[in-house]
C-alpha cells in the first residue's frame, strides 16, 4: 500500500462511515480494485479512529451535557443505558465470529456487492413507506427499543450491509423519525467503533510495523477531515431528502462491482 492509497481510503472511510452505504464495503471494494491489502485487514478498522474522533468533536457539547447530567437525570440515565445495551449484540457476535468475518466475508467481493445492491433496494423501499413516529428525540428512545436497534446493527457485520443503514432502517420500523434514527446511529457508533478499534488493535498489534503506522496516520487524518464534513451536515440531508440518494448510490456501486467481477472472472 502506497501513501496515496492510505489517504484515498481515509477519505472514503470518513465520507461513508455515517451514511447508509457501508464504509467497510466501499473500502474493501476499492482495495480489491486497486490490488492492495493490509495485514489482517487491520488498516480498515484502525483508520476508523479518525472518523470516531470527528464525531466526538462535533458532538462534544452534547456529550458533555449528557455526562454532566447522567447522575441526576432519569431521562439521561435511560438514554445512556439504552446506547450501552444496544452496543452489546454486535460486540458479542463480532467477537465470536471475528475469524470468519475477517477471513471469509472481508475477502469475498461478491458478498459485498450483493449486500450493497440488496441494501440499496431496501433503502428505496423504506423511503417510500409512511411511518408514524413515536420518538422524535433520541433521549426518548427506551432501552428496550434501543436494544432492538442494536440487534439490527448485527447485520452490519456482513460487509456491504452498512452499520448506519441497518440501525437507521431498524429504528424507523421501531418508531423513530428519520433524523432521530440517524442521530441515534451516531451515538451507537461511538461504543461500537471504539470497541472494534480496540479489539482489532489487540488482535493484530504484533503484525504492525512503523511503515504501517505511517499509513494508518495518513488514513486517520483523511478520515477525520472528511468525517467532520459528513457529521456536520448529514442529519439535515437525511431529514429533508430521505434515503433515496443512498439507495441508488449503493445499487450503482454494487452493480459496477458485479460487472467487474463478471468480466474478471473473480
Question: pLDDT of 18-45, one tens digit each?
Answer: 999 999 899 999 998 888 876 656 777 7
Average pLDDT, the chain: 90
Query: So what's the pLDDT on residue 40?
Result: 59
Q: Which residue has cell 475477502?
A: 107
pTM of the model: 0.90
Query: So what's the pLDDT on residue 210?
Result: 60
Residue pair 186/57 in contact by the 8 Å Cβ criterion: no
Query: So what's the pLDDT on residue 48?
Result: 83
DSSP string, 191-227: HHHHHHHHHHHHHHGGG--HHHHHHHHHHHHHHHHHH
Question: pLDDT of 111-138, one tens digit each?
Answer: 999 999 999 999 999 999 988 899 999 9
- Closest by Cα among 119, 124, 120, 144 to 134: 144
Question: pLDDT of 177-233, one tens digit each?
Answer: 999 999 999 999 999 988 887 887 777 777 666 667 788 889 999 999 999 999 999
Residue 103 has pLDDT above 90, yes or no: no
Query: So what's the pLDDT on residue 46?
Result: 77
- Domain spans of the chain, in order of start: 3-264
Amino acid at each position: 500500500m502506497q501513501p496515496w492509497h492510505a489517504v484515498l481510503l481515509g477519505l472514503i472511510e470518513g465520507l461513508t462511515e455515517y451514511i447508509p452505504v457501508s464504509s467497510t464495503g466501499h473500502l474493501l471494494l476499492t482495495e480489491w480494485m486497486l490490488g492492495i491489502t493490509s495485514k489482517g485487514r487491520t488498516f480498515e478498522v484502525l483508520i476508523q479512529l479518525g472518523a470516531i474522533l470527528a464525531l466526538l468533536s462535533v458532538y462534544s457539547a452534547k456529550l458533555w451535557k449528557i455526562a454532566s447530567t447522567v447522575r441526576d437525570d432519569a431521562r439521561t440515565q435511560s438514554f445512556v443505558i439504552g446506547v450501552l445495551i444496544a452496543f452489546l449484540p454486535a460486540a458479542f457476535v463480532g467477537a465470536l465470529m471475528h475469524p470468519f468475518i475477517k477471513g471469509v466475508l472481508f475477502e469475498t467481493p461478491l458478498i459485498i456487492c450483493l449486500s450493497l445492491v440488496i441494501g440499496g433496494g431496501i433503502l428505496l423501499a423504506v423511503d417510500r413507506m409512511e411511518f408514524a413516529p413515536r420518538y422524535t428525540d433520541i433521549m426518548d428512545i427506551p432501552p428496550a427499543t434501543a436494544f432492538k436497534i442494536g440487534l439490527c446493527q448485527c447485520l452490519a457485520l456482513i460487509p456491504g450491509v452498512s452499520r448506519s443503514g441497518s440501525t437507521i432502517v431498524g429504528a424507523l420500523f421501531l418508531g423513530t423519525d428519520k433524523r432521530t434514527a440517524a442521530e441515534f446511529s451516531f451515538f451507537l457508533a461511538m461504543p461500537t467503533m471504539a470497541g472494534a478499534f480496540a479489539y482489532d488493535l489487540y488482535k493484530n498489534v504484533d503484525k504492525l510495523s512503523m511503515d504501517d503506522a505511517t499509513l494508518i496516520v495518513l488514513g486517520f487524518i483523511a478520515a477525520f477531515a472528511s468525517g467532520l464534513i459528513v457529521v456536520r451536515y448529514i442529519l439535515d440531508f437525511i431529514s429533508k431528502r430521505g434515503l433515496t440518494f443512498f439507495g441508488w448510490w449503493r445499487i450503482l456501486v454494487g452493480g459496477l462491482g458485479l460487472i467487474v467481477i463478471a468480466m474478471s472472472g473473480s
